[in-house]
Amino acid sequence: MSPLTIVTLDWVPDFPRGFVRDIRARWAAEEAGRPYQVETVPGAQKTEAHREIQPYQQVPAIRDGDLTLFESGAIVLHLAEGTPLLPPDRRSEVTQWVISALNTVEIATGHWLLMILQRDYPEIFGPGATDAQLAHARRGMDLRLGQLERELDGREWLLGDQFTAGDILMADTLRQIDHDGVLDGFPGLRAYLDRAKARPGFQRAYDAQMDHWKAADKARAAVAAS
Amino acid sequence: MSPLTIVTLDWVPDFPRGFVRDIRARWAAEEAGRPYQVETVPGAQKTEAHREIQPYQQVPAIRDGDLTLFESGAIVLHLAEGTPLLPPDRRSEVTQWVISALNTVEIATGHWLLMILQRDYPEIFGPGATDAQLAHARRGMDLRLGQLERELDGREWLLGDQFTAGDILMADTLRQIDHDGVLDGFPGLRAYLDRAKARPGFQRAYDAQMDHWKAADKARAAVAAS
């Protein structure tokens, strides 16, 4: 097996910790039983070296042998190849759910989330929404969440009994909006997300990301003290 | 080869014609040399039968033999299997560009597009944005478009010489925002989109969708007159 490298940022402030999307690559690697190392790119000053591996200068990216790959959904599908995360006879359905999370669900949740971030961090995310706009975005999101909950009814995971790449993307998309009481009205999604977060692979990925930021804090403190 | 059915709406008003996302399924079918038939679901009154094939009651969906599939990106990747649209040794890269179009690019373009639709059709799309919000969304979109243009520099298609499933999704995502002068500042993207639209497969898909709406108008007129 070729060595796997996950590329993430060298440091982030507190609020996105635990949510930076390298967690999806880490989670898939854990579920797939792939050891990995971590490489960083600077978050504060975007570099040409960063652009060469990720044209939007975002994270994550991975290096897997000779292949460099970006987009967390494509990374998770790539790491899922040949593992139970991607049953070969259900490839198109797994892809359907990966894309459902990243397009249909995230277009709705991301619209609301951006407004919340604008409310809390206008200096970073831009001019805030009115109450009417926020309520409209919330209704659009709630419509999608209700449809998803109904679809999941009676199933443990999106494909039934088998946890797949689609669940990594869908659960992580839901996790990003799990505040301000959003999931209170959706007990089925709440239970689905809790099941996903209880997986040892998620726990290890989460802890590894949080440890990464702690080490980054320590490195910055050492530089500041020197 | 199993019979392929593309599911779309029975009728839409003028403004989304040519842009309803079944065009992506039609385009992929044309590029893949797959004949298809069309089945419709009512747009005005959402039905349980619609929910059974598409949990968000959107279009398109497809039936391919025993498989029912939704999400245009997953449909295009499915139809691309075994064709030059998805070279087996570059599967992860093709998937990367499909998801790049549907998440990274469309999150930015969709945010701006929604504001434009709210400005033009507030009764359908909700409360309109302020000039400052619209300008902020435009800057976010322009940043992504500039990064994409730079990445495409010197290439005919996203993977180089080979037109793939990623180009269907990326070109169609760009096509949706090709108004209000958005692409004027991006001659590389303009040329890329024009190359994509010049493909006979796109032309046939576009004409077939427009013919579908014309036939729908005729059917409605016949019902109204009876």
Q: pLDDT digit string (tens) for B13-52?
A: 999 999 999 999 999 999 999 999 999 999 999 999 999 9
Peptide bond into B60 cis (omega under 30): yes
pLDDT at A124: 85
- pLDDT one digit per residue (tens) for chain A, 226 residues: 678 999 999 999 999 999 999 999 999 999 999 999 999 999 999 999 999 999 999 999 999 999 999 999 999 999 999 999 999 999 999 999 999 999 999 999 999 999 999 888 888 888 888 898 899 999 999 999 999 999 999 999 999 999 999 999 999 999 999 999 999 999 999 999 999 999 999 999 999 999 999 999 999 999 999 8
All residues at 6 or more sequence positions from A144 whose CB lies less than 8 Å from its CB, including other chains: A104, A105, A108, A109, B56
Contact A55 B93 (CB under 8 A): no
Whole-complex ipTM: 0.97
E strand or H helix at B64 = strand B61-64
Contact A70 B100 (CB under 8 A): yes
**CB environment B127-139: b (16+ within 10 A), e (fewer):** ebbeeebbebbbe
pLDDT at A83: 98
Task: Give the closest-approach CA distance of A159 to chain B in angstroms.
Answer: 13
Residue of B nearest to A61 (CA): B96
Residues of B in contact with A74 (CB under 8 A): 92-93, 95-96, 98-100
> Which of B99, B114, B151 shows the shortest C-beta gap to A102?
B99
β A61-64/A4-9 pair status: antiparallel
Contact A78 B98 (CB under 8 A): no
B→A interface, C-beta within 8 Å: 51, 55-58, 67, 69-71, 73-74, 77-78, 81, 92-93, 95-96, 98-100, 102-104, 106-107, 110-111, 114, 126-127, 129-130, 132-133, 136, 140, 144, 147-148, 150-151
Distance CA A56, CA A73 (A): 15
pLDDT at B1: 66
**Nearest partner of B96 among B142, B149, B159, judged by Cα:** B159
Low-confidence ranges of chain B (pLDDT < 50): none
Residue B121: how many CB atoms within 10 A of its CB? 13
**Nearest partner of B114 among A180, A98, A101, A136, judged by Cα:** A136
Residue A222: how many CB atoms within 10 A of its CB? 9
